[in-house]
A and B are shown apart, each in its own frame.
Chain A
């Protein structure tokens, strides 16, 4: 099976940097995804890591360490619109992974002025 943990809530100030951590235990690993979800809206894809290291995309970066079962999402130059839930999700391997992402409970980020 798979288990994914991430903090429930975080707060930060506009213009600052915030790091959202995600740890996972999985019987097979074929990639880790980060999604952003505003209340009442669809999750939107932010990043994908399958190899160790840092992936940078504009103000967002994601890091993966497969040996530690650990990832983080780094958000820089925070804006009010970044207030949302951030979901960490893992894809497994083999037939039981088809189309299936196992999600953490999500981290609700609140950005204050």
Chain B
């Protein structure tokens, strides 16, 4: 059974640019959550999608957005990149938030903004 796949693994962008990250959940999982991980703040929740609908959103500025497709794959977009957006971006998939299961994380996308 394939795990959670995130692409690309590494990305270097310049301040002011935008970036799109992709996440393919485990087959059959319909919930995809996104997290930002930095040394100072740890893992911070960005948003969650279920059946193409955003059900929950963390405390991040509107520059951070996402979407989910009918096959449950999800993308997140960050516009007008800032140096502080450098982080490891992780997505996690689950059957559904109401289920008694752990969330399975992908290996992440390491974004560096220069």
Contact = CB atoms under 8 A, between A and B. Distances in A.
A87 B90 CA distance: 14
Given A42-B107, A104-B42, A98 B55 contact: yes
Nearest to A104: B42
A99 B42 contact: no
A86 interface: no
A95 B55 contact: yes
A101 B43 CA distance: 9
Q: Chain B interface mostly helix, strand, loop or mixed?
A: strand
B23 to A, nearest CB: 12
Interface residues of A, number: 25
A31 B94 CA distance: 15
Given A99-B94, A100-B97, 13 more contacts: A33-B102, A42-B106, A42-B107, A42-B108, A87-B43, A95-B55, A97-B97, A98-B31, A99-B50, A99-B56, A100-B56, A101-B33, A102-B45
